[in-house]
């Protein structure tokens, strides 16, 4: 699997410049930027199908791109509910324990209550950190399954998602790592007074599309 091509494949498209420029502009417009995620999902699907130049046309099914991007965001937010819940519980417990410390008669008791609040906060923050790490590994597989199946429910078929990750674990983790590299490279667009990052960030999106599409395609061919 030629993952190195993920950084350059988009330039094989004759209209690559306009497609990336449009994607970069749409990507910074609130709400409308859902379409940029939908575009990435469409590109991913085309990669899984082995299309030589997988960048879709922006003018084709723009509404569909928007809806697919919106649904993907909704799914990601659902997956983030545990993080939000834990953060709220952490804040509530810390406030209760810290506020209750003032009710103690001795400084030692108050200090003990404050220390307990700090310990609870640290434990819950560690839990949030661990869950976030799991999501970093899990969510790309969720997105690629949605890209291929086109069904909102496919993003919550945990057994199938885990089976895909497990089947191609090495390539899958490498794809995530290379996307991180692409994101770091995209960050250098900030040097151009923040303007360049608009387009390099969308380029990184396209890198992820190619990486995930190839991992899925490899797993699919292997199964066949």
Both tokens assigned to 173: 């983790």
CB 131 within 8 A of CB 83: yes
Residues 69 and 147: their CA atoms lie apart, in Å, by 10
Per DSSP, the residues of 116-159 read HHHHHHHHHHHHHHHHHHHHHHHHHHHHHHHHHH--GGGGG-HH
Both tokens assigned to 180: 């991180």
Distance, CA of 200 to chain centre: 16
Residues 216 and 202: their CA atoms lie apart, in Å, by 21
Helix (H, G, I), strand (E, B) or coil at 187: helix
- Ramachandran angles phi, psi of 59, nearest 5°: -75, -10
Q: Which helix (H) or strand (E) holds 23?
A: helix 16-26
User: In a structure prediction context, what are the per-residue pLDDT tens digits for the chain, which is 224 residues long?
Assistant: 667 789 999 999 999 999 999 999 999 899 999 999 999 999 999 999 999 889 999 999 999 999 999 999 999 999 999 999 988 887 787 777 666 555 544 555 555 555 666 777 788 889 999 999 999 999 999 999 999 999 999 999 999 999 999 999 999 999 999 999 998 888 775 544 454 667 888 999 999 999 999 999 875 544 43
Residues 91 and 100: their CA atoms lie apart, in Å, by 14
Residues 54 and 76: their CA atoms lie apart, in Å, by 25
Helices 158-167 & 169-187 angle (0-180, nearest 10): 90
**Model-level pTM?**
0.85
Domain edges within the chain: 3-77+141-223
């Amino acid at each position: 699997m030629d993952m190195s091509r993920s950084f350059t494949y988009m330039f094989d498209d004759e209209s690559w410049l306009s497609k990336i420029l449009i994607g970069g502009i749409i990507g910074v417009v609130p709400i409308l930027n859902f379409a940029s995620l939908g575009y990435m999902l469409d590109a991913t699907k085309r990669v899984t199908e082995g299309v030589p130049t997988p960048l879709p046309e922006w003018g084709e099914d723009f509404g569909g791109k928007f809806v697919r991007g919106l649904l993907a965001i909704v799914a990601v937010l659902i997956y983030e509910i545990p993080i939000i819940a834990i953060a709220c519980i952490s804040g509530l417990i810390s406030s209760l324990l810290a506020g209750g410390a003032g009710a103690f008669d001795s400084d030692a008791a108050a200090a003990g209550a404050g220390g307990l609040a700090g310990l609870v906060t640290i434990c819950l923050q560690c839990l949030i950190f661990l869950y976030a790490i799991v999501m970093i590994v899990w969510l790309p597989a969720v997105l690629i399954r949605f890209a291929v199946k086109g069904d909102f429910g496919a993003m919550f078929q945990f057994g199938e998602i885990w089976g895909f990750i497990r089947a191609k674990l090495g390539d899958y983790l490498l794809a995530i790592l290379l996307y991180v590299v692409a994101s770091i490279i995209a960050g250098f667009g900030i040097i151009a007074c923040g303007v360049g990052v608009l387009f390099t960030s969308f380029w990184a999106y396209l890198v992820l599309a190619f990486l995930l599409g190839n991992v899925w395609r490899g797993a699919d061919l292997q199964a066949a």
